[in-house]
C-alpha cells in the first residue's frame, strides 16, 4: 500500500491566489513526521515545512502552512499569495518513528504546480 | 543552500562502465541517505549510513554499493551501468540523532547520470 498519496498530478493557480496541495498518508505508527519539499525545474530538493504527529497546532513557515488533520491522515500544504517562482514539483513525505523503516523519508509521487501570471 | 555538497553535477558514461558519486553532508550531520529519482519510479530510497555504519537498505541493486568514511563523506558506486540507471541521484543528510524521525532531510543538488 502507498504510504504517501498525492492525488493531484498537476495544479494551476493564478498569481497572488492561494492554493492547496493534497497529501494523505498511511501509518500505524503513533510517532511520525510529515514533510513537504519543493523541486523546481532546476532539480534541487528544497525543504519547506515540517509537522510532527504530536503537534497540536498546524505548522506555518512564511507563506506555507500545513493543514494537518490527524484523524483523516491528511497533511495538505497551503501556499498563500502564490508567486511565479512557486511553479515547481511539490512532494509530501513521511518519516516513521518506530524505526521499522529505519527513519528513511518516504515520498509521494508529487504535484506539479503551475502559477499563471 | 542546503549545506550538502554533491559532485559531480552531471555525469555521462557508457553502458558497462563504473562511476562514483560523492557526497559531503551538512556539518554535524551523521546520517547520510542516497536516493534515486527517475521519471517512472519517482524518488526511491537506496541506502542509509549513520556515523560510518550502514543502517538500512532500500531498492538498491547489487551492482550498486556505498560507503561512509570516517570524515562522514559518502560515496555511491554504480557499476556495470545500464541505460535504465540513468537518473538523478540525490544525497541527503539529517541531524537529530540516530533515532530521530522529526528532523528533515537536507538534500544536495543531485548528480544527473546519463548512461548512453
Give the closest-approach CA distance of A44 to chain B in angstroms: 5
Kindly identify which residue of chain B lies nearest to residue A51, measuring between CA atoms: B102
What pLDDT shows up at residue B96? 73
What pLDDT shows up at residue A102? 61
Query: Which tens digit of pLDDT belongs to each residue from B8-56?
Result: 999 999 999 999 999 999 999 999 999 999 988 889 999 999 999 998 8
Query: Which tens digit of pLDDT belongs to each residue from A2-58?
Result: 799 999 999 999 999 999 999 999 999 898 999 999 999 999 999 999 999 999 999
Measured between alpha carbons, how far is residue A21 from residues A35, A67, A108, B36, B43 in Å? 13, 10, 12, 24, 18
Task: Work out the pLDDT band at A97, boundaries 50, 70, 90.
Answer: confident
Would the pLDDT of A100 be above 60? no
What pLDDT shows up at residue A42? 92
Q: Cβ separation of A105 and B102 shorter than 8 Å?
A: no
Within an 8 Å CB–CB cutoff, is residue B1 touching chain A?
no
Q: Cβ separation of B102 and A103 shorter than 8 Å?
A: no
Give the closest-approach CA distance of B79 to chain A in angstroms: 24
Q: Are strands A64-69 and A74-79 parallel, antiparallel or unpaired?
A: antiparallel
The H or E element spanning position B17 is none
Residues A22 and A89 sit within 8 Å (Cβ to Cβ): no
What pLDDT shows up at residue A99? 60
Amino acid at each position: 500500500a502507498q504510504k504517501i498519496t498525492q492525488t493531484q498530478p498537476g495544479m494551476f493557480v493564478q498569481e497572488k491566489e492561494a492554493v492547496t496541495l493534497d497529501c494523505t498518508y498511511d501509518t500505524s505508527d503513533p510517532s511520525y513526521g510529515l514533510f513537504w519539499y519543493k523541486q523546481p525545474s532546476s532539480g534541487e530538493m528544497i525543504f519547506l515545512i515540517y509537522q510532527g504527529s504530536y503537534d497540536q497546532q498546524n505548522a506555518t513557515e512564511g507563506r506555507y502552512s500545513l493543514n494537518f488533520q490527524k484523524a483523516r491522515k491528511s497533511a495538505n500544504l497551503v501556499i498563500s499569495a502564490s508567486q511565479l517562482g512557486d511553479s515547481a514539483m511539490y512532494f509530501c513525505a513521511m518519516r516513521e518513528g518506530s524505526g521499522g523503516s529505519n527513519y528513511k523519508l518516504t515520498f509521494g509521487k508529487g504535484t506539479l504546480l503551475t502559477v499563471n501570471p | 543552500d542546503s549545506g550538502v555538497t554533491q559532485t559531480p553535477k552531471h555525469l555521462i558514461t557508457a553502458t558497462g562502465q563504473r562511476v562514483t558519486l560523492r557526497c559531503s553532508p551538512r556539518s554535524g550531520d551523521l546520517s547520510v541517505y542516497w536516493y534515486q529519482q527517475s521519471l517512472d519510479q519517482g524518488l526511491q530510497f537506496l541506502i542509509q549510513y549513520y556515523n560510518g555504519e550502514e543502517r538500512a537498505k532500500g531498492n538498491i541493486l547489487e551492482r550498486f554499493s556505498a560507503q561512509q568514511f570516517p570524515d562522514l563523506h559518502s560515496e555511491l558506486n554504480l557499476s556495470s551501468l545500464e541505460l535504465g540507471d540513468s537518473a538523478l541521484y540525490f544525497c541527503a543528510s539529517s541531524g537529530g540523532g540516530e533515532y530521530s524521525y522529526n528532523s528533515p532531510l537536507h538534500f544536495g543538488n543531485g548528480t544527473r547520470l546519463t548512461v548512453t
